[in-house]
Structure 1
Amino acid sequence: MHLPIADRLALDILDGHWPVNGNITLEDIQNRFGVSRTVARDAARYLEAADAVTIRRRVGLVAQDPATWAALNPQVIQWKLHSSQRKRELMSLTELRLAIEPAAAAGAATRASLDVRAKMPVLAMEMRRHGEAGDLEPFHELDIEFHSMLLRNSGNELFASLAPIVATILRGRVEINMYPSRPSASALDAHDAVADAVWKGDAERARKGMHDIVDEVSTVIATR
């Protein structure tokens, strides 16, 4: 019950309705949302865990600058993607992907098991089938699986830990309508190229193909 309240309060900060360093009390939350003190306290603690607020005795919840929030917390990413700061957040996240995913694809080409490498062309083929047919829901789920599998099987535990974050980014981009009505031919071709390179153990070709995928995303976001 406290999660929708935390969502609303986080968006209030991000959209400037609750100014940074401004404070509200648990009583304010209770009165605004018509909830018990326990629910108000749970919402406050949830925001505090994401560094969105600090809680001070006799002061209440104090809004923090969004630049200091837990940037890689999936919930923080969701909040920012659904706020007026969505484009800036998407650009920052895409820069992160550009720094990490090409290296992860290269790592998967040389470190992933044979079973995992063999699955990549199958995923790419299914993505193409659904993408060209305009079946976007299964396409997006396959896209998440494709990128997550490369991160998890890159041979780098730090890259692997980012798989849920990349999944959040990909889902969030769809939720806020920052995805084309259907995937471009070049994006499908690039996924095919990455899958083939990983299957054949060609690290540099996998790296280049993944760079092409994410760089195209960056270009699309910049022009919106």
Structure 2
Amino acid sequence: MTSDATRGLHGYLVDRLGRMIASGELTTGARIVPEELTEQFGASRPVVREALRVLEAKGMVRPRPKIGTRVLPMRQWNLLDRDVIRWRVAGPDGPRQLDELSDLRTAVEVHAARRCAAYAAPEQVAELRAACDAMAAAATARDHTAFTTADVEFHTTLLAASGNAMFRHFTEPFAAFLTAREDLRTLPDQVDPGVVESHRRLVAAIESHDGDGAAAIAHSLIEAARAEVAARLP
């Protein structure tokens, strides 16, 4: 097996096991036997061991001497890990996961928007405006992938421009939420132009140093996204 094929099988194995755990197919306390995975997936022992190490780093499994590798309860998972979020969103826990992420965005991003009004540098405001332009172009073209990419760029810049270094650590989970809307097909066929306009109004509030206004617009954007997902989930 080539090194590329090995990496591909390793990635597949991590993803498959992660989904099985997140969906409850592998329940808390379930024993994972490497030899069985080797036979089931045709993977070498080193590939299986490395895949289990990745899941261990995410808090989903733990190897124990004489007991083997066991699935850990969800409270021990790294719930901010982008893969863990993706696996939970794809499983029966998806609606709850998305609602929890919306709550987290409300707690962090609204305050980040308020701080941006005080701390954002001119070049960061320009980056926010450029992301709005990219969102508008993607919406016109009905290109959901490009729209999501621009949306992620906007909110990533927003967190960075807040002046709070800790907020940057929420970049990946928030990006996972925005990406999940596309993956779950909860984005409408035609993006409402009002969504892009709301982002532009947020940039204008930041540029004019209107912290209260920026916070209010950020809050309305998050709640609109929450409602959109809830309404369109199967």
Contact 1:120 1:195 in 2 (8 A): yes
Task: Give, in whole Å, the separation in 2 of the partners of 1:23 and 1:141.
Answer: 39
State how 1:128-167 maps to structure 2 within 5 Å.
Answer: 128-167=136-175
* Counterparts in 2 of 1:10 and 1:126: CA distance versus 1, 3 Å: closer
* Counterparts in 2 of 1:123 and 1:18: CA distance versus 1, 3 Å: closer
Amino acid at match of 2:128: M
1:218 matches 2:226: yes
Task: Give, in whole Å, the separation in 2 of the partners of 1:33 and 1:4.
Answer: 10
Aligned equivalent of 1:205: 213
**TM-score, scaled to structure 1:** 0.93
**Residue 7 of structure 1: which of 6, 15, 22 is its match?**
15
**Please, which runs of 5 or more residues in structure 2 have no aligned partner?**
1-8
* Structure 1 outlier segments of 4+, above 6 Å: none
Q: Residue 21 of structure 1: CA displacement? A: 0.6
Q: Residue 199 of structure 1: CA displacement? A: 1.8
**Residue 109 of structure 2: which of 65, 90, 101 is its match?**
101
Contact 1:154 1:160 in 2 (8 A): no
Contact 2:181 2:229 in 1 (8 A): no
Q: Which deviates the most, 8-17 or 21-30?
A: 8-17
Percent of aligned pairs with the same amino acid: 28
Q: Residue 68 of structure 1: CA displacement? A: 2.5
Deviations 1:38-91 (A, max 9, x none): 111111111111111111123221111223211111121121122222111111
**Residue 72 of structure 1: which of 57, 64, 80 is its match?**
80
**Please, which runs of 5 or more residues in structure 1 have no aligned partner?**
none
Contact 1:109 1:203 in 2 (8 A): yes
CA-based RMSD: 1.6
**TM-score, scaled to structure 2:** 0.89
| Corresponding residue SS for 1:62 | strand
